Amino acid sequence: MNEGQELIEKLKEKIEQDTLILPTLPAIAMQISDEASNPDADLKKMYSIIIKDPALSARMVKVANTSLIAKSQPVSGLDRAVNRLGLKNIKNIAIGLAMEQMFESNSTFTKSKMKKKWDQTVTTIGASIGVFNLIKEDLKKEFSADTLILAALLRNIGCLPIYKEASEFGDICYVNNFMEPAIEKYSGLIGGSILKKWGFEPFMVDVAMNVSDFSHFTDDLSYLDLIRIGMVACEQETQHRDIILHNAEKKGVSLSGVDFISDDYMNARDSALSIFN
């Protein structure tokens, strides 16, 4: 048995025995998530949590001034940024920054691979928001841009435990391309387990678990569909392009390559990407 097969078997065994160590949200992201879910949540309390973290504070101000959020003059202070963003956006931004930090490694080789996976995630976020900007208003009202960003952000979360397990085998996992089969086979299942553990809604779990399973489609237009169309738009998904677009058309979303280079698409995509630059 080579190292690639050993990795697959090790992951299979740990999943079956429920011994695979799943990542946890960093403390500040968990604190913000809990506060945002509190029916009596207070923006002043949220401000007092965020200001303890300079990187998170800077990200909040930056996002508050993007065209996705800003409708008036720019803000420079965290207090005004928090008021402009609101609880849901604050929660999503905190989880986004936490995710970005989680896609890091002390191993140079692993770090480069995780950076590539993170870059793919961000690209998909931009493309999905570009797609969202193109759909009809009567369909759009069922969704929100901030929730779409979060769903696209979390779609690759299942890769993290696989990278951790692979670290025991060293760089040979990457040199001999053992990682991709492991990610393809198990990242969806693991991603679903992580989001269930973190308490996310079923539709978020569905995205993490099934975004790359093209035998699985939702009955109605869903966040899963919008992310998949985004993957087509940014050419991360070419093999299943036709089935994705055909399924979307049946649900009222008729888009083609021309739409993916339109000003409406590009402007919305670039605005979303600016959050992560």
* C-alpha to C-alpha distance for 85 and 43, rounded to whole angstroms: 10
Report the pLDDT value the prediction gives residue 264, as an integer from 0 to 100.
94
* C-alpha to C-alpha distance for 43 and 5, rounded to whole angstroms: 50
Report the pLDDT value the prediction gives residue 175, as an integer from 0 to 100.
55
Nearest to 2 by CA among 184, 173, 167: 173
Nearest to 186 by CA among 213, 167, 216: 213
Q: 255, 245 in Cβ contact below 8 A?
A: yes
Report the pLDDT value the prediction gives residue 92, as an integer from 0 to 100.
85
What domains does the chain contain, in order, with CATH numbers?
A: 3-23+107-273 (1.10.3210.10)
* C-alpha to C-alpha distance for 222 and 207, rounded to whole angstroms: 9
Distances (CA, A) of 5 to 9, 118, 176: 6, 25, 12
Report the pLDDT value the prediction gives residue 277, as an integer from 0 to 100.
75
Q: 126, 272 in Cβ contact below 8 A?
A: yes
Nearest to 125 by CA among 66, 80, 83, 169: 66
Report the pLDDT value the prediction gives residue 135, as an integer from 0 to 100.
95
Report the pLDDT value the prediction gives residue 232, as an integer from 0 to 100.
97
Give the global pTM. Answer: 0.87
pLDDT digits (tens, 9 = 90+) for 187-199: 999 999 999 988 8
**Which residues of the chain have a pLDDT value below 50?**
none
Report the pLDDT value the prediction gives residue 35, as an integer from 0 to 100.
87
Report the pLDDT value the prediction gives residue 271, as an integer from 0 to 100.
87
Q: Where are the alpha helices (DSSP H) in the chain?
A: 3-16, 27-37, 43-50, 54-64, 78-102, 108-134, 137-140, 145-153, 159-166, 172-175, 179-198, 202-210, 223-233, 241-250, 263-273
